[in-house]
Structure 1
Amino acid sequence: MARTLIKTVLFAATVMALGALAAVAANAEPARSYDIFGDSPAAAPAAPSQDYSDRSSPSSSFVDDPWAVDWIDPWDAPRRIEDFENAKAPMSDAPTLGDAGYWPLLRAISMYKNIVEWGGWERIPKTGGKLEEGIVDELRVPLLRKRLIATGDLTGAGGNPTVFDADVTRAVQRFQSRNGLLPDGVIGRRTLEALNMSAKARLALLERNLKRINKLSTTLGERYIFVNIAGQKLEAVANGRVERRHRVVIGKVDRQTPEYTSKITFLAFNPYWHVPQSIARKDILPQVRRDPSYLKRLNMRVYRGYGGREVNPYKVNWNQVNERTFLFRQDPGPRNSLGTVKIHFPNPHAVYLHDTPSKSLFGRNVRANSSGCVRVEHVHDLTTWILKAQGWDRKRVDALVASGARKDVRLKKTVPVYMLYLTAWVDEHGVVNFRDDIYGRDGRHASL
């Protein structure tokens, strides 16, 4: 039974790879890249289980019925797939939103629907300690290999099936990378949980996230910014092509970044930070009550409301005030929580994109550390991109930042910003990605 399942999956994956390569060769969909080693959204025989929209399908030369093809012995599939390695398309500039992201995700749904119909994959037991290269395990390693083959992370069936070898390590790293896990090649608790999520649950996540993408208007704008909250990534898109990608820091679990659509209206250089009342209550006041010099160290001033007079913090009994008593404002400078620039768009949540003095956070694998706003890595590059239409270049941006001068620059033409919570999508390499539902917005789908 297990041998039959492996052969079936390898057979289907090989035909899908050929279909993808045929489409690339024919320039059927030139904006998309395909990764024949991953969960490629290439041709799949089954139709999606739901009608998601009235979008018309793009022209394609994908194989319509792989089961009707007079094909090779499927046990030759690993070697033959490897033959196509040099034909893999380069990184695509196709965006996550719009048709460029919709159709690959729809094809991924078809692929996972087939896996569910084939019976999915077996769970790998939690007992026996962690799995890593060099381990020999007659039960768990064969199950791990079959699990990785099922989704294309492991493309070969060679070697001793009970040995965790270098090929398995690379396959695990690949799986970890596309699941937002630290790609160390070791099967620890979090990796095991991701591997053991059922095919049915994965399919449900893909379908749920397709709906999230589809709910946005197909008219996104000539230039726009997309923030994938769960993916902790940002795309700057112009004329249907991604021109910049940035890592971002999102809100903590108890201070979640909201899903929202708005338009960027101005950028504040060397900004003041007017502390929201919620942050004043949770963060600032507890610190000041312990140490009034905390405000001075952070270059923070205290006022009696907007437009009110400044208050000497050493003359305040902080145990008798609350977050509504005073306004806290942090001056521009190296310790300012907004960094050197704030990218403003109207919204009822008081969130925006901004720089940060805590650059080390961008090196983390999971970056849910803010109070709800989105911190952007290399924000001056993004700032330059936004202001490019008004004749700005990076040199001008850097000069203004270096001057320390407070300046608001209004956009002559607003730039849409879309903040969406995606836990499944197809990336610029054509690989299906999943991320932890850190905010618990996927509900029951994550536990199927």
Structure 2
Amino acid sequence: MSFAKSASRVSLPTVAGAVVALGCLVGTTMADPIDDVLRQRATEWSDGFDAAVVSAPEVRTNVPILSPDIVSAVEGAIQQYSAIVARGGWPMVPADQTLRIAARGPAVLALRQRLIISGDLDPAYGMSDAFDTYVDAAVKRFQARHGIPADGVVGKTTFAALNVPAEVRLNQLGKNLERLQKLTRKIPDRFVMVNIPAAQVEAVEGGYVAQRHTAIVGKVDRPSPLVNSKITQINFHPFWTVPASIIKKDLIPTMQKRPDYLTEYRIRIYDGQGNEIQPNQIDWYSDQATKYMFRQDPFEENSLGIVKINFPSPDGVYMHDTPHKGLFYDEYRFDSSGCVRVQGIRDLIVWLLKDTPGQTREVIDQQFADGQRLDVQVARPVPLFWTYLTAWAMPDGVVHFRNDIYGLDGLDQYALQASAPL
């Protein structure tokens, strides 16, 4: 399935004071709260995950998504979900009120039934109409495997995920099995994988995940493309050349409201001969600005942050840092113009350059700190895959789903129901 190409890479802010809010962003090696939830073995949680799933002692979070083990696990999940569908699926949970601990009523009864059928709640905990600690733990587990903050509160996002029919989930698994089979035909020993719907990055070596990073990926109307390439270069303290689409969609409207914007964010204007043009020489209520090149100087508020990861791409996309680290904690992380922003990117750079002479951790730390422009060629280019996987299963039976944010699964309205920010 082909992707719509992203015409732009990094976007300018639509509100004051956030030039990077629309840039390209990705993840840190900090502990993933979703993994933490899934690792819990509290007694109130079911030891099995789906009704027919064989339980395992722990979640193997070091297994890369692009691996034969995951393909086999998805095949098993398809059998399990086929059985659920054959038995009539699961009930819709009434979404007329938020559900949390101490809630009571028919909606809680339906919630219990829904969680039991999908294996998130052990049937031994009964069919009471009370939202107790067992239900709370089951909801958290359900949220974790759907990429929802695991707070145990059933609100709009969780209701939307709960009420996706079992048939849709089964079809989703089938679509993603096809993708995984193609992607895993020939897996390199060392590679980086971006899963766009999960907004997550994996650095893989020797069949195990060496690092996992949170990411920010492309908006629905500026999607991140599929990528099969190799990382060849690291730019420290890069310039940012503003894409033409961002000049038109974001920069011109911003300049109409804030004439000092370019000066504040150190964005320079150049004509075709390389001559610098002053902002007051341009009519911002016309398309005159689209005839020039806009380039942001390296500094602490540069939209690309401190470092940029380059690779050949017909779409002109890349991966990079950001000065706005707080964006990685947003639940909805589909906010770039096609590029991928990486949280904790320094650790990823160290991993990428570990075979490059002279690029020790100490040297890289200094290069981050000194503010000097520097381009480093990766001695052994690292294979890179930007993928679109909305469903997968772990070898221990944990089945994950993510929203079909770009509508590429070709299913029905339920696949996109929970995709937009609330």
Percent of aligned pairs sharing the same letter: 42
Q: 1 or 2, which has the higher helix percentage?
A: 1
1:327–1:121 Cα change, 3 Å:
same
1:40–1:272 Cα change, 3 Å:
farther
Structure 2-normalised TM-score?
0.82
After TM superposition, the structure 1 stretch with the greater mean CA deviation from structure 2, 179-188 or 431-440, is 179-188
1:103 aligns with 2:56: no
The CA deviation at 1:157 is 2.7
In structure 2, what residue type is equivalent to 1:381? D
- Residue equivalent to 1:441: 408
The CA deviation at 1:90 is 5.5
The whole-number CA distance in structure 2 between the counterparts of 1:178 and 1:170 is 13
In structure 1, what residue type is equivalent to 2:336? S
- Residue equivalent to 1:3: none
- Residue equivalent to 2:49: 38
> Deviations for 1:64-97, whole angstroms, at most 9, x for unmatched residues?
xxxxxxxxxxxxxxxxx8xxxxx71353421101
In structure 2, what residue type is equivalent to 1:106? E
Larger Rg: 1
Alignment of 1:378-389 (within 5 A): 378-389=344-355
- Residue equivalent to 2:245: 278
1:295 aligns with 2:251: no
The CA deviation at 1:346 is 1.1
The CA deviation at 1:117 is 1.5
The CA deviation at 1:417 is 0.7
The CA deviation at 1:323 is 4.7
- Residue equivalent to 1:175: 142
- Residue equivalent to 2:377: 410
1:220–1:160 Cα change, 3 Å:
closer
1:120 aligns with one of 74, 89, 107: 89
In structure 1, what residue type is equivalent to 2:181? N
The whole-number CA distance in structure 1 between the counterparts of 2:239 and 2:80 is 50
- Residue equivalent to 2:330: 364
Larger RCO, structures 1/2 (Cα 8 Å, 6+ apart): 2
Q: Which runs of 5+ in 1 are unaligned?
A: 1-32, 44-80, 82-86
- Residue equivalent to 2:102: 134
1:335 aligns with 2:304: no
> Deviations for 1:372-405, whole angstroms, at most 9, x for unmatched residues?
1100000010000000011423221110121111
2:181 aligns with one of 198, 214, 222: 214
The CA deviation at 1:219 is 1.7
CA contact (8 A) 2:68 2:184 kept: no
Helix, strand or coil at the partner of 1:193 = helix
Q: Which runs of 5+ in 2 are unaligned?
A: 1-38, 42-46, 416-422
In structure 2, what residue type is equivalent to 1:116? V
- Residue equivalent to 1:28: none
Matched pairs, number: 371
In structure 2, what residue type is equivalent to 1:96? I
The CA deviation at 1:430 is 4.9
In structure 1, what residue type is equivalent to 2:216? V
CA contact (8 A) 1:204 1:445 kept: no
The whole-number CA distance in structure 2 between the counterparts of 1:427 and 1:297 is 48
1:224 aligns with one of 160, 183, 191: 191
RMSD: 2.3
1:427–1:331 Cα change, 3 Å:
farther
1:158 aligns with 2:125: yes
- Residue equivalent to 1:26: none
The CA deviation at 1:41 is 9.0
1:97–1:217 Cα change, 3 Å:
closer
The whole-number CA distance in structure 2 between the counterparts of 1:308 and 1:425 is 50
The whole-number CA distance in structure 1 between the counterparts of 2:267 and 2:393 is 44
The whole-number CA distance in structure 1 between the counterparts of 2:193 and 2:268 is 34
